[in-house]
Chains A and B, each alone.
Chain A
Amino acid sequence: MEAALEAEGLAKRYGARQAVSDLSFKAPKGSIYGVLGPNGAGKSSTLRMLVGVLKPSAGHISMLGGSVTRSVLKRVGYLPEERGLYRNMSARAAIAYLARLKGMPASKAYKRADALLEAHGLGKVRRKKIKTFSKGMAQKVQVLAAIAHEPDLIIFDEPFSGLDPVNQRTLEDTIRAEAAAGRTVIFSTHIMEHAERLCDRILLIAGGKRAFEGTVNEALALAPSVAILETDGSFDLAATLAPKGFRIAYEREEHGAKRWRAELEGRDGSRRLLAACVEAGAPLSLFEPARASLHEAFVALVGAQAAGEQR
């Protein structure tokens, strides 16, 4: 697996506060890599260290086959969490300006800006000042500015925040298209659904430390499986099956039926639970094994408190 980016023992300290400690991970070339964690977990600090804005207190970063130098950074596109553009510039000029700062010649930068704006439905307003744009349009321009110079590595910090569902979908498509073109995309988010849909690999961070690194499926496998059950009448499922080692929690009553949530253990957990219910004569009206979410995997990994700000 060839890595587009590799971090080893990365750490960042702000005064007495340790924002990131001993963080190591590899983002494979051409992959979509998610950096996940609650607010304040150290995601932005990590990404800012990757793009050279922040100097790490410790650790080493290898990017696109070398150290993080000025020439390597020219091949990186970055969308910061705290983002904005010159409000009095036109969309076209803003994209071209940022592409030129990355070393793209002026004529090519303007052509590329025009092409990107046209492709993303902003062709007609390309000469309008950004201050006349809606928030969603401005954010779209910012994303385009980050990829205008055709970087090999794209780093987006919380790219979905502030976008409506339609624009979130559009951005997901853009990320997929960039990856399909052979570029590596790393993005941070605290919304797990985006990562589940997009990422090949993820890095879960909590308290500035690595909680997990691997594929989405590997992460999901770490989460406990659950089943949702409903019983009629006053039957107490939790009390009946507790002596047999089943952990079942009562959730609520709906239309005269009681709803329960049971944790499943092992590959045949759902089969054993169903057998126990039948054996106990439970009046079941629903038995539904549920797929664990990335959030549940995260809770399982770092605990409910550390993951408290998820969703």
Chain B
Amino acid sequence: MHPILLVARRDYLAYVGAWGFWISLITAPLLIALVIFAPVLLARAEPPRVIAILAERAEDAALVRGAFLGRAREDARTEIEAYLSATAPAVRDEALAAFDAAEDRARGIEAARQIVQQRAPRALQAFPIPSPRYLIVDPPAQDIEALRPYLMRVQALPNGQELYGVVRIRREAEAPVIEYWSVNLSHEEPSQITRLAMRLAMRREALAAQGLDPLEADRLEEFNPRVVHFDPRPSATGAGEVTLRQRAPFYAALALSFILWSVVFSTANMLLTGVIEEKSNKILDTILTSVTPLEILIGKLLGVAAVSATLFLFWGLIGGSLLSAAVAQSGETFVGQIAAAFLEPRLLAAFGIGFLAGYLMYGAIFLALGSLCESIQEAQTLLGPVALVLALPMMLIAPALDNPNAPLIEMASWFPLFTPFLLLVRAPAGLDWIEIAGMGGLMLVALAIVLMLATRVFHAGVVDQVSVAGLRARLSKKD
């Protein structure tokens, strides 16, 4: 076996033989699932927030109470709609019609549930039982000073609940003024719901003052134009109307870009810690008579690449199976279309190329840095600037989703260290072949330069025991 392959094999077996590898192999998908579902589960687990309404006029209090109930009904409808879109799109409209026809929220949920039970019983198992986010109660006192102990959680309500906030509506020269009292300073939703309700009240009052029917304000509120997005490019499918099918690749690209970034960073980190460990254990001098520094560098890159390939194979099999199942089960639903976007060959090819280039570039850089350090602590001082460079494409990924062809994103994607990540994000927006070839070529040139420089630094680090301080002098002169 060639020494490069022996080095690669040893490194591969060392990583795969460690407990940490198997733990991360298994826990990573669980953690991703947790990140996706935790906010939903937490939101569901949270008890309703108790709000009291204190108003000078009884009709204002009733209007705001109605607005909160309306919001709760709307939230329940949205949740049922999302669930049925993903699981039983065929019965969605019928179930929502039954929900809308019901008198109140609870009856609406039950009516929708009945439809699902009759028409799509398989979807009943995880049918949502949404709980309202807010619970409106009568205020335990009639002025803010008396309510202060409740708001500060010093005193509980008579039923034992804690008061989350108080909406106080007073009138100044007939115009309503909304005060929202709560210790949760960053949460503004209750005041927004109240504002919209009181805006409707003000419109009703204005219409009545003009001698018109105040309920016209409610009718005007319902006007909501239909918005259709179109893609003007000749390559656009159908009549060019943009639907979820067209948008899904952007979301998939964003997710894949985050995954690519995390994998590149963590595998490059593996290389860094590996070489530091070998340096501190004084192993390198022993193998240098058998393997050249370049061969060690290539062997290590190959070994960790094989570790990544194992991870991808495992995760790919699980993820691919789940996504394929999602496409087969619910092809036209939100889930089905997002899943199909992940399986898009062009996107997967961009991911593969991005990983290869990103891993080789950052891996070589991290290996070179590791060769100059005797400890992780020492490496951390060097990693600061590199981590900053790695963090920059992450900062650009979110804006790239908003406008993948923004000048800043376009320029940044030509910078070879960012290309692997931004090329992936820009891919669904459609790239010219010239652009792809140009960025690819530049990336290859950069890769060659990085590998060449990394080899020199690695050589200096492992053979001549050059430290960080001596690096600059070393690079400035010919060996």
Q: Which residues does A use to contact B, with CB under 8 Å? A: 14-15, 48, 51-55, 73-74, 76, 78-89, 97-98, 100-102, 106, 142, 145
6 tightest CB-CB pairs across the interface, nearest first? A84-B282, A101-B290, A80-B285, A84-B281, A82-B282, A78-B289
Closest to A83 in B: B282
Of listed B282, B286, B289, residue having the most chain A CB within 10 A: B289
Q: Is the CB of A101 within 8 A of B479?
A: no
B463 in contact (CB, < 8 A)? yes
Contacts of B464 in A (CB 8 A): 14, 54
Q: Is the CB of B3 within 8 A of A53?
A: no
Closest to B283 in A: A84
**Of the residues A48, A52, A82, A100, contact of B6 by C-beta under 8 Å:** A100
10 other A-B residue contacts (CB within 8 Å) besides A80-B282, A84-B283 = A53-B288, A53-B289, A54-B464, A73-B289, A83-B285, A85-B286, A98-B286, A100-B1, A102-B290, A145-B286
B10 in contact (CB, < 8 A)? yes
Q: Is the CB of A15 within 8 A of B473?
A: yes
A45 CB, nearest partner CB in chain B, Å: 10
B144 CB, nearest partner CB in chain A, Å: 67
Contacts of A79 in B (CB 8 A): 286
Known: A14-B464, A15-B473, A53-B288. A88 touches B14 (CB 8 A): yes
Contacts of B6 in A (CB 8 A): 97, 100-101
The binding surface of chain A is classed by DSSP as: loop
Query: Whole-angstrom distance between the alpha carbons of A51 and B285 in the complex?
Result: 11
B291 in contact (CB, < 8 A)? yes
Query: Whole-angstrom distance between the alpha carbons of A73 and B287 in the complex?
Result: 12
Q: Is the CB of A98 within 8 A of B290?
A: yes
A108 CB, nearest partner CB in chain B, Å: 13
Contacts of B3 in A (CB 8 A): 101
Known: A53-B463, A100-B6, A101-B6. A86 touches B289 (CB 8 A): no
Closest to B1 in A: A100
Contacts of A82 in B (CB 8 A): 282, 285
B109 CB, nearest partner CB in chain A, Å: 58
Closest to B17 in A: A88
B20 CB, nearest partner CB in chain A, Å: 12
Q: Is the CB of B283 within 8 A of A54?
A: no
Query: Whole-angstrom distance between the alpha carbons of A173 and B421 in the complex?
Result: 60
Known: A14-B464, A53-B463, A86-B14. A101 touches B282 (CB 8 A): no
Q: Mark B258-286, 1 if CB is under 8 A from A, else 0.
A: 00000000000000000000100111011
Q: Is the CB of A54 within 8 A of B463?
A: yes
Known: A85-B281, A88-B14, A100-B6. A51 touches B286 (CB 8 A): no
Known: A82-B282, A84-B282, A86-B281. A98 touches B287 (CB 8 A): yes
Known: A97-B10, A101-B3, A101-B6. A87 touches B281 (CB 8 A): yes
Closest to A51 in B: B289
Contacts of A76 in B (CB 8 A): 289
Query: Whole-angstrom distance between the alpha carbons of A102 and B6 in the complex?
Result: 11
Contacts of A86 in B (CB 8 A): 10, 14, 278, 281, 283
Query: Whole-angstrom distance between the alpha carbons of A98 and B286 in the complex?
Result: 8
Query: Whole-angstrom distance between the alpha carbons of A4 and B113 in the complex?
Result: 91
Q: Mark B283-308, 1 if CB is under 8 A from A, else 0.
A: 10111111100000000000000000
Query: Whole-angstrom distance between the alpha carbons of A81 and B278 in the complex?
Result: 15
Query: Whole-angstrom distance between the alpha carbons of A311 and B479 in the complex?
Result: 36
Closest to B477 in A: A15
A129 CB, nearest partner CB in chain B, Å: 11
Contacts of A87 in B (CB 8 A): 281
Of listed A53, A78, A79, A87, residue having the most chain B CB within 10 A: A53
Contacts of A54 in B (CB 8 A): 463-464
Query: Whole-angstrom distance between the alpha carbons of A102 and B3 in the complex?
Result: 8
Q: Is the CB of B286 within 8 A of A73?
A: no
Q: Mark B7-32, 1 if CB is under 8 A from A, else 0.
A: 00010001001100000000000000
User: B453-479: which have CB < 8 Å to A?
Assistant: 463-464, 473, 479
Contacts of A97 in B (CB 8 A): 6, 10
Contacts of B288 in A (CB 8 A): 53
A109 CB, nearest partner CB in chain B, Å: 11
Q: Is the CB of A83 within 8 A of B14?
A: no
Query: Whole-angstrom distance between the alpha carbons of A15 and B6 in the complex?
Result: 34
Contacts of B290 in A (CB 8 A): 73-74, 98, 101-102
Query: Whole-angstrom distance between the alpha carbons of A145 and B290 in the complex?
Result: 12
Query: Whole-angstrom distance between the alpha carbons of A55 and B459 in the complex?
Result: 12
A230 CB, nearest partner CB in chain B, Å: 50
Contacts of B287 in A (CB 8 A): 98, 101
A265 CB, nearest partner CB in chain B, Å: 46
Closest to B7 in A: A101
**Of the residues B1, B17, B283, B289, contact of A85 by C-beta under 8 Å:** B283
Contacts of B286 in A (CB 8 A): 78-80, 83-85, 98, 142, 145
